[in-house]
């Protein structure tokens, strides 16, 4: 059936030029087995009594200070009670020792088990050598290393006083703290010592001075071993047993049982006295540590007769405690099969048996937390029908992979995010009867691409094996949802190669749809920790490959929210292992000329944050957008910590590129403020004032972001002031600057950032998405391109008195889209097509699993011949969002201050060889003039001038020989022209080898018959 596999990636972690806020919930009805088990172990408790048992167990404010081991400040919490407590709606808050203003870090929505720790990472300093253990929450509060106040609060609203009834726990530390529990504050902390609550967090006498001690920082997180306090001793054994096991007559079967004890070890699991001989326990795995899970298999013999049998299982721990659970084993005659799985699936878009109750049979291929997949082991041999189906049980099913089941359930078409595309499943089963166990199925072999995207329907719910390697085409949602987009080959955006609306573009789009599947992680959990599929350097790059991938084909949501983007997914069996086929590089690989220019979209580099604070410590500030100035208009970093992380990545990339000119996009439109912070950071990293910015112009547009330029001052000089085109067609005006090299050669750079493809209008105009692959606002981008080519470029060339122009920037148009074709038709040359396309498909951006370049390098024809190379440095488009500078949604912080994922666009680097039109080579030349003879008929004096290469290298022609200081009244009649007031002769010879000579005729008019004198200067090139 028809479907759209290429999902809409406009859901972004933060608002950017073409995106929206990433949804925070994921409502796919398929849950992980682990999540369900954890939920089953959660013990309900009274909030009033349990809340008081969660305490602040450790506080450390020396992170990143001189002499510190850890890079970050942190706050540690601990549940010292006997019952689990929900952290939903809680926060930790910090104030200085004498301050009354409290900063807030909201706690994650999780349940803190009895004896469990929770680690909140706060701001980083510039020193320290070790990362914290994986934090459970990331905050940005910069705490004092010696004295302050920390409160645990049962709301996320900043308190106004430490005596607020919302405060659950409080520590004041250092002698100047104005609020604390008990008679005195806790001791001073330091850059090495944290304040730790006694007895691993168990002691709480409401006396900060004695409850806490200054000891070496030792952070613990939720994955640390549980610690049972004395007040929580003798907690009950918690059992995990399925309510029932249904078996067919004469079959037998087994099911797994487990139990744990928070403060003890479950050592024995036995059947109750009087149990039938048909029941037995096998494979006991006792707990070996406090709180560990003990498990055993309950086996049922095939001799058990029809009927229902309650089986009581006893559990005992090492503290003399016991617990029991009862499993109802039901043996019954299996109902007859009404239809096979392939018959229920049918060959149409929906099942022919929707709404009816059917009995069918299959082997379990994948167990989920609220259902399972099963497949007809024989199939029907019809390639148009699927042999597999999902059975929705709503809770963890009592089945195992390999069980052959007879299932009676209702046929349903489930809406998995897209009402136009449903998935056939069985729901509300009235009977799930095990017929046999230990069965295996041979996966169906398939490979990508399929003949068409419609073919996915025939594999829905089936166990498949991809017989050819698959390549990662996108990793954007890896950290958020544990997903990767895979394809048979790297997918190129159709309009990156073919003009929109062309038959070739349409065919390529259809081929891409048939060449994509989303690898999921068999989980609906958001922000999985750890993120799956990561390899070397804590990354997985687009272009990496995986072989022999086996799993079950699913269809459903591929982000969060229902309705939402959907697609076919593969739920893997086992852990796929990827090969790093697309390796990183330390710097762009490009030929060396005498000039290097780079285009770099720096993804919302703002010095004003979304909370109204600034890098310089101001508060209550805002960002410009149209006529509005508000903090809500700000983008990029949310706080100083994120700003420092963002800048460090961008600076690392720019330092490695080492361009003489950088054209930048998405810099905050606040004059030179944000730009100067970037330049200062880059110069500090280099160790000298190497770069300066091109001063801001009067017209920077009404958007919150602008384009900018920086350059190396020792390499280049500004020629005139920067120019901009403030025409209303440009929402972000292009910026032009002419530069001069030390050799005198001039060139101009124009930085552009055309209208994005997002934030679509609904006015019925051509700026709406025309479904031709070019997105929204294409008509406006064409107008911007025409204005650039027909008006602004000529203006820049005239002002520079030089035709060499380089057009760079994010044009928000792929390589063969209308705006780019318009610029090429106006005479500009695509250097990316010229240098990169012959070797591989060029790209600087990945969207919806397709790669293409929207970051361009276009030249005037006069400059094109001086370009010697172009490189796209793939440090961003191929890297997962998971490793960028942002801290939200990241329980696993894999940030490094490296170039990788410094932005979402790859920088483009252009190498040029700009030489002057002529070079003085007189020092390598000797000149010899012959005697002159007088021609009476022409009244001229005639002779020759011979020049000889006395140097050691070949001189490149043509040559211009200038006669300087020619005697007054004497004229060189055969002069080729006049240069700087002197006549000159030209020779078209291509080269002059060492020792080689050329002779040029001399014809003078000398009416006064005076002596003729002059000095020669010889130039290589043309005047």
pLDDT tens by residue, 422-460: 899 999 999 999 999 899 999 999 999 999 998 998 999
Average pLDDT score over residue span 326-349: 93
Question: What does the pLDDT look like over 370-386, one tens digit per residue?
Answer: 899 999 999 999 999 99
The pairing of beta strand 977-979 with beta strand 997-1005: unpaired
Q: How far apart are CA 835 and CA 842, in angstroms?
A: 10
Q: Are 38 and 110 in contact (CB under 8 A)?
A: no
pLDDT of residue 207: 93
Apex 332 CA angle, 326 and 336, nearest 5: 140
Q: Are 569 and 554 in contact (CB under 8 A)?
A: yes
Q: How far apart are CA 921 and CA 913, in angstroms?
A: 19
Torsion sign over Cα 793, 799, 804, 805: negative
19 has pLDDT over 60: no
609 burial via Cβ count (<10 Å: 0-12, 13-18, 19+): buried
pLDDT of residue 231: 43
Closest CA to 294 of 314, 275, 267, 321: 267
pLDDT of residue 6: 37
| CA 335 vs CA 83, 241, 255, 436: distances in Å | 45, 26, 22, 15
pLDDT of residue 900: 98
pLDDT of residue 559: 63
Residue 280: count other Cβ atoms within 10 Å of its Cβ.
14
User: Quick one: angle between helices 673-686 and 640-657, nearest 10?
Assistant: 60
What confidence category does residue 223 fall into, taking pLDDT thresholds of 50, 70 and 90?
confident
24 has pLDDT over 50: no
Alpha helices in 433-558 (DSSP H): 478-481, 494-497, 503-513
Domains 54-216 and 238-332 share a fold: yes
pLDDT of residue 854: 98
Closest CA to 55 of 152, 199, 189: 152
Query: 560-572 as b/e, with b when 16 or more CB fall inside 10 Å?
Result: bbbebbbbbbbbb
What confidence category does residue 562 fall into, taking pLDDT thresholds of 50, 70 and 90?
low
Q: Give residue for tokens 């929206």.
A: 20
285 has pLDDT over 70: yes
Average pLDDT score over residue span 237-252: 90
129 has pLDDT over 90: no
H or E element in which residue 664 lies? strand 661-668
| 3-state secondary structure at position 242 | coil
H or E element in which residue 479 lies? helix 478-481
Closest CA to 820 of 856, 852, 846: 856
Average pLDDT score over residue span 874-891: 92
Average pLDDT score over residue span 228-235: 66
What confidence category does residue 954 fall into, taking pLDDT thresholds of 50, 70 and 90?
very high
| β-strand partners of 151 | 93, 170
User: Quick one: angle between helices 778-787 and 818-825, nearest 10?
Assistant: 20
Give the mean pLDDT of the chain: 91
Q: Which two tokens stand for residue 420?
A: 């136009």
Top-level CATH class of 595-912? alpha beta
Q: How far apart are CA 659 and CA 655, in angstroms?
A: 8
Q: How far apart are CA 15 and CA 32, in angstroms?
A: 30
pLDDT of residue 233: 54
Q: What percent of the chain has pLDDT over 90?
A: 79
Q: What percent of the chain has pLDDT over 70?
A: 94
| 3-state secondary structure at position 1 | coil
The pairing of beta strand 388-392 with beta strand 422-436: parallel
Task: Give the architecture (CATH level 2) of 918-1021.
Answer: Sandwich (2.60)
27 has pLDDT over 50: no
pLDDT of residue 563: 56
Average pLDDT score over residue span 98-115: 91
| 3-state secondary structure at position 42 | coil
Q: For the chain, give every domain's residue range.
A: 54-216, 238-332, 341-441, 457-579, 595-912, 918-1021
843 has pLDDT over 90: yes
Q: Which two tokens stand for residue 206?
A: 């409401």
Closest CA to 414 of 430, 392, 429: 392
387 has pLDDT over 60: yes
Q: Are 75 and 59 in contact (CB under 8 A)?
A: yes
pLDDT of residue 110: 85
What is the C-alpha radius of gyration for the chain, rounded to an integer number of angstroms? 37
Q: Are 463 and 574 in contact (CB under 8 A)?
A: no
Q: Are 338 and 410 in contact (CB under 8 A)?
A: no
Q: How far apart are CA 682 and CA 679, in angstroms?
A: 5
Q: Which two tokens stand for residue 668?
A: 């905050």
878 burial via Cβ count (<10 Å: 0-12, 13-18, 19+): buried
| 3-state secondary structure at position 681 | helix
| 3-state secondary structure at position 1023 | coil
Closest CA to 812 of 904, 716, 737, 899: 904
Q: Are 633 and 611 in contact (CB under 8 A)?
A: no
pLDDT of residue 748: 98
pLDDT of residue 561: 53
| CA 156 vs CA 53, 79, 527, 632: distances in Å | 19, 19, 21, 20
Q: What is the pTM of this model?
A: 0.73
Q: Are 264 and 292 in contact (CB under 8 A)?
A: no
The pairing of beta strand 167-173 with beta strand 193-197: unpaired
pLDDT of residue 43: 29
Which residue has better confidence, 818 or 264?
A: 818
The pairing of beta strand 444-446 with beta strand 463-466: parallel
Alpha helices in 694-768 (DSSP H): none
| CA 901 vs CA 363, 600, 645, 1002: distances in Å | 44, 13, 11, 66
Residue 367 phi/psi, 5-degree rounding, is -105, 125
Where does residue 10 fall: left (phi above 0), alpha (psi -120 to 50 degrees), or beta otherwise?
alpha
Q: Which two tokens stand for residue 91?
A: 């926060």
| β-strand partners of 566 | 557
As a whole number of angstroms, the longest Cα–Cα distance in the chain is 143
What confidence category does residue 564 fall into, taking pLDDT thresholds of 50, 70 and 90?
low
Question: What does the pLDDT look like over 587-616, one tens digit per residue?
Answer: 999 998 999 999 999 999 999 998 899 999
61 has pLDDT over 50: yes
Q: From the centroid of its chain, how far is CA 832?
A: 24
| 3-state secondary structure at position 362 | strand
Q: Give residue for tokens 């990433």.
A: 22
Q: Which fold has domain 238-332?
A: Immunoglobulin-like (2.60.40)
Question: What does the pLDDT look like over 474-515, one tens digit per residue?
Answer: 999 999 889 999 999 999 999 999 999 999 999 999 999 999
In this structure, which CATH number among 2.70.98.60, 1.10.10.60, 3.40.50.1950, 2.60.40.1260 belongs to the domain 54-216?
Answer: 2.60.40.1260
Q: What letter does residue 140 receive in the DSSP assignment? A: -
| CA 23 vs CA 67, 307, 528: distances in Å | 41, 49, 16
Question: What does the pLDDT look like over 896-952, one tens digit per residue?
Answer: 999 999 999 999 999 999 988 889 999 999 999 999 999 999 999 999 999 999 999
Q: What letter does residue 70 receive in the DSSP assignment? A: B
Closest CA to 1020 of 953, 929, 972: 953
Q: Are 934 and 941 in contact (CB under 8 A)?
A: yes
Torsion sign over Cα 917, 922, 924, 929: positive
Please state the length of the chain: 1023
| 3-state secondary structure at position 596 | strand
User: Distance between the two ends of the chain, CA-based, in angstroms?
Assistant: 69
Q: Give residue for tokens 């960002």.
A: 623
Task: Give the architecture (CATH level 2) of 341-441.
Answer: Beta Barrel (2.40)
Q: Which two tokens stand for residue 734?
A: 């292009």
Q: Are 709 and 694 in contact (CB under 8 A)?
A: yes
1005 has pLDDT over 50: yes
Minimum mean pLDDT among 52-56, 145-149, 150-154: which range? 52-56
Q: How far apart are CA 631 and CA 613, in angstroms?
A: 8
Average pLDDT score over residue span 106-129: 91
Q: Are 602 and 903 in contact (CB under 8 A)?
A: yes
Question: What does the pLDDT look like over 175-220, one tens digit per residue?
Answer: 999 999 999 999 999 999 999 999 999 999 999 999 999 999 999 9
| 3-state secondary structure at position 342 | helix
pLDDT of residue 16: 34
| Number of helical (H) and strand (E) elements in the chain, helices listed first | 14, 64
Closest CA to 483 of 422, 567, 564, 419: 567
Question: What does the pLDDT look like over 760-813, one tens digit per residue?
Answer: 999 999 999 999 999 999 999 999 999 999 999 999 999 999 999 999 999 999
């Amino acid at each position: 059936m028809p479907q759209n596999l290429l999902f809409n990636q406009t859901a972004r972690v933060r608002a950017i030029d073409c995106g929206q806020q990433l949804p925070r919930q994921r409502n796919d009805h398929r849950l992980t087995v682990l999540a369900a088990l954890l939920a089953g172990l959660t013990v309900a408790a009274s909030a009033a009594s349990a809340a008081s048992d969660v305490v602040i167990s450790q506080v450390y404010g020396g992170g990143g200070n001189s002499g510190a081991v850890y890079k970050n400040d942190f706050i540690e919490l601990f549940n010292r009670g006997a019952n689990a407590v929900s952290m939903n709606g809680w926060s930790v808050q910090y104030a200085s020792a004498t301050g009354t203003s409290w900063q807030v870090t909201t706690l994650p929505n999780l349940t803190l088990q009895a004896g469990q720790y929770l680690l909140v990472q706060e701001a980083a300093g510039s020193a320290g050598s070790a990362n914290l253990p994986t934090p459970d929450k990331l905050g940005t509060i910069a705490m004092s290393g010696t004295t302050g106040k920390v409160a645990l609060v049962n709301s996320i609203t900043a308190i106004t006083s430490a005596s607020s009834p919302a405060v659950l726990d409080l520590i004041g530390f250092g002698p100047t703290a104005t609020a604390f529990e008990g008679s005195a504050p806790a001791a001073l902390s330091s850059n090495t010592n944290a304040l730790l609550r006694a007895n691993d967090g168990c002691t709480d006498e409401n006396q900060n001075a004695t409850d806490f001690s200054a000891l070496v920082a030792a952070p613990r997180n939720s994955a640390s071993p549980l610690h049972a306090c004395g007040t929580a001793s003798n907690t009950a054994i918690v059992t995990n047993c399925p309510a029932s096991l249904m078996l067919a007559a004469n079959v037998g079967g087994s099911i797994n049982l487990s139990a744990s004890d928070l403060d003890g070890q479950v050592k024995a699991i036995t059947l109750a006295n009087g149990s039938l001989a048909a029941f037995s326990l096998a494979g006991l795995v006792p707990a070996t540590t406090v709180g560990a899970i003990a498990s055993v298999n309950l086996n049922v013999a095939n001799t058990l007769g029809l009927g229902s049998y309650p089986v009581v299982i006893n559990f005992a721990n090492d503290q003399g405690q016991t617990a029991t659970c009862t499993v109802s084993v039901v043996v019954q005659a299996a109902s007859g099969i009404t239809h096979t799985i392939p018959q229920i699936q049918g060959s149409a878009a929906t099942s022919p048996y929707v709404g009816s109750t059917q009995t069918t049979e299959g082997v379990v291929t994948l167990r989920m937390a609220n259902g399972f997949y099963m497949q007809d082991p024989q199939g029907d041999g019809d390639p148009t029908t699927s042999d597999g189906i999902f059975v929705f049980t709503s809770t963890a099913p009592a089945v195992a992979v390999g069980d052959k089941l007879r299932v009676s359930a209702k046929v349903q078409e489930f809406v998995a995010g897209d009402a136009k595309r449903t998935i056939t499943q069985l729901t509300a089963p009235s009977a799930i009867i095990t017929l046999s166990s230990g069965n295996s199925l041979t996966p169906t072999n398939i490979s990508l691409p399929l003949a068409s995207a419609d073919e996915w329907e025939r594999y829905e719910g089936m166990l498949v094996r991809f017989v050819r390697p698959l390549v990662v085409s996108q990793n954007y949602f890896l950290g958020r949802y544990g997903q990767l987009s895979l394809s048979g080959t790297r997918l190129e955006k159709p309009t990156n190669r073919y003009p929109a609306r062309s038959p070739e573009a349409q065919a390529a789009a259809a081929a891409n749809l048939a060449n994509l599947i989303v690898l999921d992680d068999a989980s609906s959990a958001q922000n999985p920790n750890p993120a799956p599929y990561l390899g070397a350097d804590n990354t997985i790059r687009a272009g990496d490959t995986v072989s022999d991938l086996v799993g079950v084909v699913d269809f459903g949501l591929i982000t969060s929210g229902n309705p939402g983007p959907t697609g076919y997914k593969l739920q893997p069996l086992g852990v796929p292992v990827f090969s790093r086929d697309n390796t990183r590089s330390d710097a762009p690989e490009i030929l060396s000329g005498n000039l290097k220019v780079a285009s770099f979209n720096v993804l919302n580099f703002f010095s004003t944050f979304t909370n109204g604070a600034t890098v310089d410590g101001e508060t209550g500030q805002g960002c410009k957008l149209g006529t509005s100035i508000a903090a809500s208009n700000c983008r990029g970093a949310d706080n100083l910590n994120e700003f420092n992380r963002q800048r460090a990545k961008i600076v690392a990339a720019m330092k490695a590129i080492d361009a003489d000119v950088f054209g930048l996009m998405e810099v905050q439109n606040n004059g030179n403020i944000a730009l100067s912070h970037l330049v200062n950071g880059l110069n500090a990293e280099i160790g000298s004032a190497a770069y300066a910015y091109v001063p801001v112009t009067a017209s920077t547009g009404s958007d919150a972001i602008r384009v900018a330029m920086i350059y190396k001052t020792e390499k280049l000089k500004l020629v005139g002031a920067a120019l901009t085109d403030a025409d209303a067609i440009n929402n972000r005006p292009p910026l032009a600057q002419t530069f001069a090299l030390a050799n005198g050669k001039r060139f101009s750079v124009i930085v552009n950032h055309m209208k994005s493809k997002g934030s679509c209008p609904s006015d019925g105009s051509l700026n709406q998405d025309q479904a031709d692959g070019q997105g929204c606002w294409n008509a406006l981008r064409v107008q911007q391109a025409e204005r650039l080519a027909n008006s602004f470029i000529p203006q820049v060339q005239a002002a520079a008195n030089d035709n060499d122009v380089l057009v760079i920037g994010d044009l928000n148009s792929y390589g063969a889209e209308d705006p780019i074709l318009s610029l090429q038709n106006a005479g500009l040359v695509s250097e990316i097509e010229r240098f990169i396309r012959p070797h591989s498909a060029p790209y600087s951006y990945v969207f919806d699993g397709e790669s293409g370049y929207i970051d361009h390098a276009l030249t005037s024809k006069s400059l094109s011949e001086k370009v010697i190379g172009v490189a796209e440095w793939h440090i961003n488009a191929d890297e997962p969002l998971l490793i960028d500078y942002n801290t939200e949604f990241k329980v696993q912080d894999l940030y490094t201050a490296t170039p990788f994922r410094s932005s979402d666009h790859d920088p483009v680097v252009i190498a040029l060889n700009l030489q002057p039109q002529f070079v003085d080579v007189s020092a390598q030349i000797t000149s010899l003039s012959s005697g002159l003879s007088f021609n009476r008929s022409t009244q001229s004096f005639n002779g020759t001038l011979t020049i000889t290469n006395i140097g050691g290298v070949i001189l490149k022609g043509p040559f211009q020989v200038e006669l300087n200081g020619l005697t007054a009244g004497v004229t060189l009649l055969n002069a080729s022209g006049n240069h700087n007031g002197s006549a000159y002769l030209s020779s078209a010879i291509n080269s002059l080898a060492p020792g080689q000579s050329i002779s040029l005729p001399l014809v003078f008019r000398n009416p006064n018959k005076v002596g003729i004198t002059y000095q020669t200067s010889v130039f290589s090139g043309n005047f």
